[in-house]
């Protein structure tokens, strides 16, 4: 994500950034919101791992943490 933000801030192109990342930059005047009527409500997040049977506990903890955080964001 840092590379995308850096490219946009450098004027290389436009991007659809998450609002929590873009909002401070818009408030600072570093970004300008474009195509405001063309936004998405959801985004895809995929976790790929070889097999569930041998998933390391720390990977399972991370996946559970991310799912919990995303569900909390949807409810707020």
69 and 51 in a common domain: yes
Q: Which residues contact 4 (CB under 8 A, 6 or more apart)?
A: 15, 17
Q: Stretch 1-7: mean pLDDT, rounded?
A: 85
Give the model's pLDDT for residue 3: 86
59 and 30 in a common domain: no
Domain residues for the domain of 12 are 1-41
- Contact call for residues 49 and 58 (beta carbons, < 8 A): no
Instruction: Tell me the per-residue pLDDT of 15-70, one tens digit each, with 9 for 90 and over.
Output: 888 888 899 999 999 999 888 887 776 666 767 777 777 888 998 899 899 889 88
Which is higher by pLDDT, 74 or 57? 57
Residue owning tokens 């995308």? 4
Give the model's pLDDT for residue 46: 67
34 and 53 in a common domain: no
Question: Does residue 7 register a pLDDT over 80?
Answer: yes
57 and 30 in a common domain: no
| Tally of domains in the chain | 2
């Amino acid at each position: 994500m840092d590379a995308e933000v850096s490219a946009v801030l450098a004027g290389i192109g436009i991007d659809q950034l998450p609002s929590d990342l873009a909002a401070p930059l818009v408030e600072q005047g570093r970004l300008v919101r474009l195509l405001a009527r063309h936004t998405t409500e959801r985004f895809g997040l995929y976790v790929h791992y070889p097999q569930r049977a041998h998933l390391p506990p720390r990977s399972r903890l991370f996946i559970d943490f991310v799912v919990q955080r995303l569900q909390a964001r949807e409810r707020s």
